[in-house]
Amino acid sequence: MAELIVISTLNGILYGMLLFLLSSGLTVIFSMMGVLNFAHASFYMLGAFFGYQLTRWIGFWPAFVLAPLLVGAVGMAVERYGLRNTHKHGHVAELLLTFGLAFAIEEIVSMIWGRSPVDYRVPAVLDFPAFTVFSTNYPAYKIFMLVVSVVIFIALLVTLKKTRVGLIVQAALTHPSMVGHLGHNVGRVFMLVFGVGSALAGLAGVIAGPSLVTQSDMAALLGPILFVVIVFGGLGSLPGAFIASLLIGLIQTFAVALNGSLASLFGPLDPSLGASPLTDIWNVTIAQVAPILPYLLLVLVLIFRPMGLLGTRES
């Protein structure tokens, strides 16, 4: 049991930090531009596939640097030529544009790389067990992922809190028009923030690709969970997104690891009752419920705290 708790906590924090790499960008983009970027998870997927392709061509480490930059460039192009032109039609049109993009990117990726998982492997340098907890070997690559996401997290924090750029971004979070009045090129700030957000998503894809499955449906699987994270944490709140990312990361990891069901807890139901929703619920394991837990959490939060954990905004 202790082993399960330690390993699951490690994995949960890792998954949570990955979620935060994505949700931080999404939150900042949403706060500044009022656009909920539906294609954010698609940038994550692009990162994974660019990482895979570049790794095959030029090796993992150059890919580790280049792929996020490429994704960032794609993101900036989307902002400059897509969102900026759509802005005059309102937020719904912008949201729909990113929705269409997410749809198109998934189709393009499966068109180029196929619908089955690609063989994106952990680089040989990092392919060894880092340490052994009880009887489980913990892979070094996961530690590397954790280190990268923590470093990015700290870098993000320092940039936002200590630098001039961070100051402008922070101001633009709450008072975007005032920042414009003060003479900053809001358009360029938007484009940069969108690019950095996309690049972060791409980086998450590059490092998560070898560890998770790199497949053309990975965006569709992760996207909804990402939205749960930012609604749960409170739309537009970075600390909220951080807490929600870790929480959902831990919950999902623990749920997948646990195999109990109501039947194993209270004993099987009387077979004479026959098949009914009750027997379904009785026999389902926690691991099977894991995929729907974030959404259940979302519904609960909406009933009891519609603003989200740390949210302050109405819309």
Binder among 28, 32, 74, 97 for other proteins (CB under 8 A): 97
Binder among 82, 139, 166, 176 for other proteins (CB under 8 A): 82
Q: Of 134-142, 162-170, 243-251, 277-285, which part binds other proteins (CB under 8 A)?
A: 277-285
Q: Which residues of 80-118 are buried (b: 16+ CB within 10 A; e: fewer)?
A: bebbbebbeeeeeebbebbeebbeebbeebeeebeeeeb
According to the binding rule CB under 8 A, does residue 281 interact with other proteins?
yes
Report which secondary-structure segment, H or E, holds 24: helix 2-33
Q: Terminus-to-terminus CA distance in the chain, angstroms?
A: 43
Binder among 69, 77, 95, 250 for other proteins (CB under 8 A): 95
According to the binding rule CB under 8 A, does residue 314 interact with other proteins?
yes
From residue 111, alpha-carbon distances to 104, 105, 106, 115, 311 in Å are 10, 10, 8, 8, 39
Shorter beta-carbon distance to other proteins: residue 104 or 182: 104
Q: Binding mask 291-310 vs other proteins (x if CB under 8 A, - otherwise)?
A: xx-xxx-xx--xx--x----
Binder among 136, 170, 211, 279 for other proteins (CB under 8 A): 279
Binder among 107, 129, 154, 268 for other proteins (CB under 8 A): 107
Q: Give how many residues touch other proteins by CB under 8 A.
A: 50
According to the binding rule CB under 8 A, does residue 259 interact with other proteins?
no
According to the binding rule CB under 8 A, does residue 260 interact with other proteins?
no
What is the Cα 38 distance to its own chain's centre? 12
Token digits of residue 291: 């995929």
Minimal distance, residue 281 CB to other proteins, in Å: 7
CA–CA dist 72, 308 (Å, integer) = 29
Strands 136-139 and 129-133: antiparallel
Q: Which long-range contacts (CB under 8 A, 24 or more apart) does 120-124 make?
A: 120/48, 120/51, 120/52, 120/55, 120/209, 120/210, 120/214, 121/210, 122/210, 122/211, 123/55, 123/59, 123/60, 123/61, 123/210
Shorter beta-carbon distance to other proteins: residue 65 or 296: 296
According to the binding rule CB under 8 A, does residue 119 interact with other proteins?
no
According to the binding rule CB under 8 A, does residue 277 interact with other proteins?
yes
Task: Give yes or no for a contact between 279 and 204, defined as CB atoms under 8 angstroms apart.
Answer: no
From residue 212, alpha-carbon distances to 11, 14, 48, 141 in Å are 12, 12, 10, 12
Find where tokens 């539906």 sit.
38
According to the binding rule CB under 8 A, does residue 280 interact with other proteins?
yes
Other residues' Cβ atoms within 10 Å of the Cβ of residue 141: 20
According to the binding rule CB under 8 A, does residue 117 interact with other proteins?
no
Binder among 220, 250, 262, 286 for other proteins (CB under 8 A): 220
Shorter beta-carbon distance to other proteins: residue 26 or 172: 26
Binder among 92, 183, 265, 266 for other proteins (CB under 8 A): 92
CA–CA dist 49, 43 (Å, integer) = 10
What residues make contact with other proteins under the rule CB under 8 A?
30, 34, 36, 82, 85-86, 89, 91-93, 95-97, 99-101, 103-104, 107-108, 111-112, 220, 224, 227-228, 230-231, 235, 275-277, 279-281, 284, 288-289, 291-292, 294-296, 298-299, 302-303, 306, 314-315
